[in-house]
Every structure is written in C-alpha cells, then in structure tokens.
Amino acid sequence: MSKEAKLELDGKAHTLPVIVGSEGEKALDISSLRADTGCITLDESYGNTGSCTSRITFIDGEKGILRYRGIPIEELAEKSTFIEAAYLIIYGDLPTRDQLRQFSELFTEYQFLHEDMKYHFESFPSGAHPMAILSAMINAASCFDDELMHWRWGKANSQFNIYAAKLMSQVRTIAAYSYRKSRGLPLIYPKRAYKYTANFLHMMFSSPYEDFELRPEVVKALDLIFLLHADHEQNCSTSTVRMVASSQANLFASASAGVCALWGPLHGGANQAVIEMLEEIHREGDDGSKFITAAKDKGSGRKLMGFGHRVYKNYDPRAKIIKRACDDVLSKLHVTDPLLDIAKHLEEAALKDSYFVERKLYPNVDFYSGIIMRSLGIPVEMFPVIFAIGRMPGWIANYKEIMDDPKSRISRPRQIYIGRALNHYVPLEERK
C-alpha cells in the first residue's frame, strides 16, 4: 500500500499522505490540500469524507460488520447488557465488577431531575412530539447545574464521568416523564432498587397504585434494543454531536443537538416511519407488493422505510439480531402482530427485486425494531426516543474523544460559492 497519493493540477504535482486505519481502511489526508493547491474538496453529504479518526466503533458496510471497541455486536448482543456495553463504548474496555457497580451507582445517584423541571413539562402542549421535548429538556436540565452552565474544558475533564452518568440517567427520566405528561398521567419516580432499563419501564408504565410487572423477557428485550443502538460511528446525529462538541459547548448541549438530528425520518425517526408504513399497508389490505412498486417509483415520494443504508451495502447486522429477537419476544409474550408478517413479506419481496438488489438496499436497524417496541407496549411516537436513549453512550464517547484530544479544533467545513457575483445595494424607490 503506497504511503502517498500523487495529484497533478495545472501541470504541478502534489502528494497527499495516505492514512491506513487499524482495519485497513484507507484515506487521503487532504489537510494541506488548500495550502498546497488552493483547492478544497467537495463531497455533498459527506459520502466519501472522513471527519475524524476514532477508536470507538468499526463498521464494514460491505461485509455487514459492526464492532464496539473491537468486540462484534453479535457477541455483545448475546452476552452483554446495555450498561456494560455503554461503559465499554465510553471508556474503551469492558468494566470490572467494581467499575460496573460504581457506574451503576452513579445512575442511581443522578436519576432524579430537579423538581422545578416539572414546570417545564407543564408548558408543552399534549401533542408535542417526545423528541422535541427530549431535546429541550436535556438543555433545560443543564440549566439547574452550575458546572454545566460554566463548562470549560480542562476543568470539565475531571467531572466528565459524573456528567456522562448524569446525562445517561436523566435522559431516561425525561423520556418517561414526557410520555406520562403526553397521556395526562402522574409522574412516576425512579426506584433505587431498579437497574437502568427496568427503572425506565417502571417510570413509563407503573401507576401510583401498583408497580409495572417487570417481566424478565420485556426488560431483556428493551435492554437489547438499547445495546444495539449504542453507537454507530459517524452517522448524522453523532457527527452533529461532534460538531457541537468541537466548539466546546457542554455535553448536554451536544446531546440535545444530537436528538434533533436523530429525529429525522431518514435517520432515527425511521423506526416510527416503518410502523406507520406497515400500518398503512395493513389498513389497505395490501401484502406489501403495491407499496414496493410505489417505493421504486421516484415520483411517488415513498420509500421503503427501514431499508437502505449509507454504509451497509449488505444486511445490517443489527437488523438480523432484531429480526430473530422479534420472533423470540413475541412468542414469549404470546403476541402475534400482523405487521411482523407484512414486514417479513416486504423483506422477502424486496430482496428478490432487482431495484433493491442493484442498489444493495437491505433492512437496516429500524426495519424490525418497531415491532419489538410495539410488543413491549411502547407507543410509536416514543420509538425515536428509545433510539436516542440507546445512542447516548455513543454520543458521550464521541464527545469525550474530542475533549480528550489535545489537538482538537473547532469543526468548520468550507464551501464552494455558486451565488451571484459582486453587486450593490439598490434603494427601495429604484427597485422594479
């Protein structure tokens, strides 16, 4: 593998260093390109542009590989838990028993919101989307913490563990409260005795009279969903978190921005869009064939939601795991869901259809995840929120990677201007 690439421009030769990652990925380092050639590169929507080097997650889109700190997602899904995987993603190694206990204890210590946060919940209209509430309330929660309001790197490093745990813990409480408020239900406080995922289900579904029955298969299924969403290298929302982090804004502000990016139906909002799509197909008595025809027709404005991926040109390994879990969880809960049959039929038909095969469009993480969340009683508008709770460790780890890098600089991409040439102000009375 050559160590540099040669570029010829206007008869002049330039060399660009070649960077090779630990898994053999190759990149041309263009950091000196503008100084050497006066040119920048242009790559709309960053399909071919690396924004950073990172040690957190590795994806091989051609082979359908996903690893958190080198450990395959399949092993973590089978043997680990969300909190253990979160520790691995944030700190780089699987935790010892002691480290895991201390990490867990921080969640318990910081799981309550400031009581005055309740007034913020009052101000949202009942139809407010929980992702709008989540983003707003993550920032609102930071307003009750003087350290976050005066966040300065250097000082913040020593506090980082506390704020990482506080964010992960409180995002769960905020999410559950936003659900309860949207239904006009009294808020349910977290319990000291409950672990992370169980406490979230308790805050979501318990009543003042009796605790929600925490069936092990329900807790485990949701914990798996969180784990599978925990990180995914430089996707749209994680790149947003890194962009905001690079200005040295505080951790909560970065996560709040990440929630907004994740909400879009092309990204974390797709899990909600998939269920809405399957429900529409079910309502119309279609077996999916009509919808697939529409999804192939650019003019229809329809897409097969939950299908396709910028990086995976093979089956998203998370989708495989979730599809298996769907059958397992629904049978354990004695639930049958016609939407699962429709989803499986859609997948089977699409994977035989040249339109999808030629474009290497496969099911992604969002295609089956909504079916499991539905079976757990989670309302569809909360699906992107579940994604956001799961993605918190990844966002925190990416924020930490920037904060710990002494060479980190504010992210500031360039552009190529294609607007009007120089012109001048025209007084109102002279305008036609």
Residues near ligand SDX (CB under 6 A): 232, 235, 266-268, 270, 295, 303-311, 359, 361, 364-366
Catalytic residue among 120, 202, 229, 309: 309
What whole-number distance in Å separates Cα of residue 82 and Cα of residue 103?
12
Question: Is 345 one of the catalytic residues?
Answer: no
Indicate the residue among 173 and 364 with the shorter CB distance to ligand SDX. Answer: 364
Indicate the residue among 44 and 115 with the shorter CB distance to ligand SDX. Answer: 44
Indicate the residue among 347 and 366 with the shorter CB distance to ligand SDX. Answer: 366
In the complex, the smallest distance separating the C-beta of residue 235 from ligand SDX, rounded to whole angstroms, is 3
In the complex, the smallest distance separating the C-beta of residue 232 from ligand SDX, rounded to whole angstroms, is 3
Find out whether 330 and 340 touch, Cβ atoms under 8 Å.
Answer: yes
In the complex, the smallest distance separating the C-beta of residue 179 from ligand SDX, rounded to whole angstroms, is 22
For CA atoms 292, 294, 297, 298, the dihedral sign is negative
In the complex, the smallest distance separating the C-beta of residue 25 from ligand SDX, rounded to whole angstroms, is 15
Residue number of the CB atom closest to ligand SDX: 308
* Structure-block tokens of residue 185: 């239900």
Indicate the residue among 295 and 403 with the shorter CB distance to ligand SDX. Answer: 295
In the complex, the smallest distance separating the C-beta of residue 391 from ligand SDX, rounded to whole angstroms, is 7
| 3-class DSSP state of 71 | strand
For residue 215, what are the CA distances in angstroms to 24, 261, 376, 401?
44, 33, 10, 37
Find out whether 148 and 250 touch, Cβ atoms under 8 Å.
Answer: yes
Task: Please choose, from the candidates 96, 84, 326, 68, the residue with its C-alpha nearest in 3D space to the C-alpha of residue 196.
Answer: 84
Catalytic residue among 223, 231, 316, 366: 366
Find out whether 364 and 316 touch, Cβ atoms under 8 Å.
Answer: yes
Find out whether 186 and 281 touch, Cβ atoms under 8 Å.
Answer: no
For CA atoms 50, 396, 306, 352, the dihedral sign is positive
Indicate the residue among 140 and 259 with the shorter CB distance to ligand SDX. Answer: 259
Question: Is 309 one of the catalytic residues?
Answer: yes
Catalytic residues: 309, 366
